[in-house]
Chain A
Amino acid sequence: MNTVQENTQALKFIPASEFKNRTTEAVSDQHLRQSFRGAMDFLMAKRAAQFPDLAAFEAQRGLAEHIRKYSLSRLPDLLEQLERTLTANGIQVHWAENAEQANALIVGIARKHAAKLMVKGKSMVSEETELNHAMAAAGIEALESDMGEYIVQLNGEKPSHIIMPAIHKTKVQIAKLFAEKVPGANYTESVDELIGIGRAVLREKFMTAEIGLSGVNFAVAETGTLCLVENEGNGRMCTTVPNVHIAITGIEKVVEKLEHVPPLFGLLTRSATGQAITTYFNMISRPRQPGEKDGPQEVHLVLLDNGRTQAYADEQMRATLQCIRCGACMNHCPVYTRIGGHAYGTTYPGPIGEIISPHLMGLAATHALPTASTLCGACDEVCPVKIPIPDLLIRLRGEATHDPRPGHAPLVGQGAAKSTLMNIVWAGWAALYTRPALYRAFGWLATRFRFLTPPVQSGWTVSRTPMKPASRTLHELVARRRSGR
């Protein structure tokens, strides 16, 4: 499995100027378009079947939103309480301000145990910190054990979806990949056989890995419990077989009470994959106790900030942290469906990625992302915790093009897309539309000189005929009718 390490590459932060090129490339890839359309249609139908009663859904997500808002309103307290209860349970808690700190902590723990191999359950936060790269640099193999993550790692790629990392890959592509990269694997297009091949490799790795890594879906402050939602059982293997279990999560995942988990869990699985419940739900509360026959000897939790406190500090943008990572917003996003996850160049793609990436990576690198939306509201409609994504996109568009509002601290990369030209354009626009007489004169001229309509109008005429004013404005038609002409 050395190929895995060779292929583990650092996340390329894509300059904002390249985002458009990536999207243009992606939409012209008919194969990619078809596979995302098909996959998203499937997921949308599965989800819809779980929420036949709209009023019931609204009530459920109202509760879930309330739980998340309440948890965030007490975030500092709950995090301290979580640290106390976890520590009392024998779980070691670590704090990381950024990706480098988180990775250094994890490498440090692995080195202490002279580890050569880490098996990983699915963790988007570890994607965010580029943990695999840091582990490879430290000479420690980090192997993804979620089947989708395993596939993208084998191919040296990033996940293209937060729940289904390999959704962009076809069966045939995976068959070729396995035959080429997995030692001893024969070419097969049978999905069962392909999974069997992966499972055989992973089974052996679970037995030999010194460290198991996982994410966390919900961290319960009152009881000191780490909840982990998964379907493949690999999460349970990672958290029980190796001697050391390290969990990593963002600071926003904490809830106060155990009873706050079921409403969120129920909405998470139904929104994500259309499942009423996942195959596995793990609740981890302590390392192996004397007399117990299995479980890790050591359990660690790494709590990562990495820009989350910037969102937390703003009353409106705090809603970004309500996210429970179901991925429904991307499944329903017409833009994500057209361009796929990789075009975003971020750990989290789609609508949630557009509103969280600016906090994680700064607006200088990400200011184009919030513009990649028609504000259609499909994400808003399905979000199980009612994050007002379109409003947050508009807010970030403003922050990217302006100095901070009075009384607000600047965001990282504040004003990165400021442009004198755009300032002039919008000032001119406002001057025209606040002066009715001037506006009517403009309408009069635009209709009289409609023959001067330029045949090429920037991006509009790439696939459309030009915008051409009518022969008379409605203002004139109404005036003419009133005067009886």
Chain B
Amino acid sequence: MERGNRYSRRPTDIYFYATCLVDLFCPEAGMDAISLIEREGVTVHFPEDQTCCGQPAYTSGFADEARAVALTQMQLFPNDWPVIIPSGSCAGIMRHHYPKLFADDPPLKAQAEALAERVFELSEFLLNVLKVQWQDTGPPTTVTLHTSCAARREMGTHEHARALLAQLPNVNVALQAHESECCGFGGTFSLKHPSISSAMAGDKADALKETGAEAFISADCGCMMNINQTLQKRGDAFQGKHLASFLCARLANSGEKA
């Protein structure tokens, strides 16, 4: 569980892998994640040739197409630096599913396994590797946390994100009903089964709102868009923020370490 052990010394450099959703739809969350890492004195490298981890094709059963994309992404990280991903599900794909994708090709499988060792979801990296210690500068607020399913079950993000939020004394984290239940996004699932997906997203939006929190926090752009846009369609002002953006705003005036 303590993957931070692999980097017992603080890394001086990291690769930042934004994911296609963050790149196109939530770039501010990506910039905020980069700031969170940089303020700890770590140099952030952004491989320009990054596109997508391959998840949509992989989960749709189009393994060849997923493999082709995954192969190009695996070449982007030549140095032995950690790869930080501000999304549990994309991090889960690189850590757990790339080795499966290349199971029939030993050299590539070995490469995928070596990469998997270096992949961290953002909150896990901040907590266990950089061991951040923060000073909360924001006003008192109550938020609630939605953790994506892959983040929860493949990356343990629900615990890491909660531990990070617990460092902020002015932030109260309310627990929603059916906290561990999926929000109904599921990538292409939301397009293939819109009625089931909408029912799930609606229930999740209700549960988050019923906590009375000012906002919900999510470490996954996919869930956040699914829930936020469901709320927007209802004309509801209650919205979610990416964990990186929320943390950045809380720490804004606490002095740069870097």
What separation, in Å, do the CA atoms of A376 and B149 have in the docked complex? 5
Give chain B's interface secondary structure class: helix
- A468's nearest neighbour on chain B, judged by CB, is B25
CA distance in complex: A24, B7 (Å): 49
> Taking the nearest CB of chain A, how far is it from the CB of B46, in angstroms?
5
Residues of A near B181 (CB, < 8 A) are: 334, 376, 378
Q: B170 at the A/B interface (Cβ < 8 Å)?
A: no
Q: Is A436 close to B, CB under 8 A? A: yes
Nearest Cβ in chain A — how far from B63, in angstroms?
A: 6
Check A23 against B27 for contact (C-beta < 8 Å): no
For A20, give the chain B residue with the smallest CB separation.
B193
Q: Which of B29-68 contact A (CB under 8 A)?
A: 30-31, 34, 46, 48-52, 54, 56-65, 68
Let me know if A371 and B62 touch, CB within 8 A: no
Least Cβ–Cβ distance between A205 and chain B, in angstroms? 40
- A446-485 interface with B by 8 A CB criterion: 446-447, 458-470, 472-479, 481
Contact check, B191 vs A373: say whether CB atoms are below 8 A apart.
no
Q: Give the residues in chain A near B135, CB-CB below 8 Å.
A: none
Please indicate which of the listed interface residues B54, B153, B187, B226 has the most CB atoms of chain A within 10 Å of its own CB.
B153
The closest CB in chain B to the CB of A439 belongs to B51
Q: Which of B58, B182, B187, B232 has the most CB of A within 10 A?
A: B182
Question: When each residue 196-224 of chain B gets 1 if its CB lies under 8 Å from chain A and 0 otherwise, what string results?
Answer: 11111110000000000000000000000
The residue that A430 contacts in the complex, of B20, B69, B185, with Cβ under 8 A, is B69
Q: Is the CB of A465 within 8 A of B229?
A: yes
* CB–CB B24/A381 < 8 A: no
CA distance A478 to B201 in the complex (A): 32
Known: A373-B186, A401-B61. A474 touches B194 (CB 8 A): no
Closest to B89 in A: A375
A residues near B46, Cβ cutoff 8 Å? 475, 478
Interchain nearest-CB distance for B52 vs A (Å) = 5
Q: Residues of B contacting A475 with CB < 8 Å?
A: 23, 46, 48
B59 pairs with A459, CB closer than 8 A: no
Q: How far is it, in angstroms, between the C-alpha of A33 and the C-alpha of B181 when the chains are bound?
A: 15
- From B23, B197, B201, A474 is in contact (CB under 8 Å) with B23
Q: Of A24, A334, A402, A469, which is within 8 A of B195 by CB?
A: A24
Q: Can you name the residue of chain A whose Cβ is closest to the Cβ of B230? A: A464
In the assembled complex, the CB of A47 is this many whole angstroms from the nearest CB of chain B, namely 14
Q: Would you give the shortest CB distance from B198 to chain A, in whole angstroms? A: 4
Q: Are B30 and A477 in contact (CB under 8 A)?
A: yes
Report how many residues on chain B are interfacial, defined by Cβ distance under 8 Å.
65
A398 within 8 A of partner (CB): yes
In angstroms, Cα B35 to Cα A142, docked, is 70
Distance in angstroms between the alpha carbons of A440 and B31 in the assembled complex = 17
Residues of chain A within 8 A of B199, CB atoms compared: 27, 33, 338
Q: Would you call B240 an interface residue if the criterion is a C-beta within 8 Å of the partner chain's C-beta atoms?
A: no
Interface string of A353-391 (1 = CB under 8 A from B): 000000000000000000111111110110000000001
Instruction: Indicate if A317 sits at the interface (CB-CB under 8 A).
Output: no
In contact, A371 and B193 (Cβ under 8 angstroms): yes
**B184 CB–A CB distance under 8 Å:** yes
| A474 touching B60, Cβ below 8 Å | no
Q: Which of B49, B182, B196, B198 contacts A378 (CB 8 A)?
A: B182
Task: List the A residue with the shortest CB-CB distance to B235.
Answer: A465
B28 within 8 A of A: yes
B182 near A426: Cβ-Cβ < 8 Å: no
B142 to chain A, nearest CB (A): 25
B201 near A464: Cβ-Cβ < 8 Å? yes
Smallest distance from the beta carbon of B242 to chain A beta carbons, Å?
12
Count of chain A residues with Cβ under 8 Å from any Cβ of B? 65
Chain B residue nearest to A469 (CB atoms) is B24
A338 contacts which chain B residues (CB < 8 A)?
196, 199-200
C-alpha gap A161/B144 in the complex (Å): 33
Whole-angstrom distance between the Cβ of A375 and the nearest chain B Cβ: 6
Residues of chain B lying within 8 A (CB to CB) of residue A395? 61
Per-residue contact bits, chain B 121-142, to A (CB 8 Å; 1 contact, 0 not): 0000000000000000000000
Q: Is B257 an interface residue (CB 8 A)?
A: no
Q: Least Cβ distance of A439 to chain B in Å?
A: 5
Given contacts A429-B57, A467-B229, contact A459 B49 (CB under 8 A): no
Q: How many angstroms from the CA of A470 to the CA of B232 in the assembled complex? A: 16
Chain A residues near B54: list those with CB within 8 A.
433
Q: Is the CB of B60 within 8 A of A426?
A: yes
Instruction: List the B side residues contacting A446 at CB < 8 Å.
Output: 24
Whole-angstrom distance between the Cβ of A345 and the nearest chain B Cβ: 15
Chain A residues whose C-beta falls within 8 Å of the C-beta of B184 in the assembled complex: 334, 374
Indicate whether B9 reaches chain A with its CB closer than 8 angstroms. no
Partner of A473 from B24, B56, B58, B61 at Cβ < 8 Å: B24
Asked whether, in the complex, the Cβ of B51 is within 8 Å of the Cβ of A381, the reply is no
CB-based contact A374/B185 at 8 Å: yes
Q: Is the Cβ of B51 less than 8 Å from the Cβ of A436?
A: yes
Q: Does B94 contact A (CB under 8 A)?
A: no
Cβ of A82 under 8 Å from chain B: no
What is the distance, in angstroms, from A30's C-beta to the closest C-beta of chain B?
A: 10
* A104 contacts the other chain (CB 8 A): no
Other-chain residue from B22, B52, B154, B197 in contact with A459 (beta carbon distance below 8 A): B197
B174 at the interface (CB under 8 A from A): no
- The residues of B with any CB-CB pair to A shorter than 8 Å are 18, 20, 22-28, 30-31, 34, 46, 48-52, 54, 56-65, 68-69, 71-72, 100, 149-150, 153-154, 180-182, 184-187, 189-202, 225-226, 229-230, 232-233
A residues whose Cβ falls under 8 Å from a Cβ of B: 20, 23-24, 27-28, 33, 334-335, 338-339, 371-378, 380-381, 391, 394-402, 426-427, 429-430, 432-434, 436, 439-440, 443, 446-447, 458-470, 472-479, 481
Identify 7 new A-B residue pairs, CB closer than 8 A, beyond the known A371-B193, A402-B61, A459-B192.
A372-B193, A374-B184, A377-B153, A401-B61, A430-B57, A434-B72, A478-B34
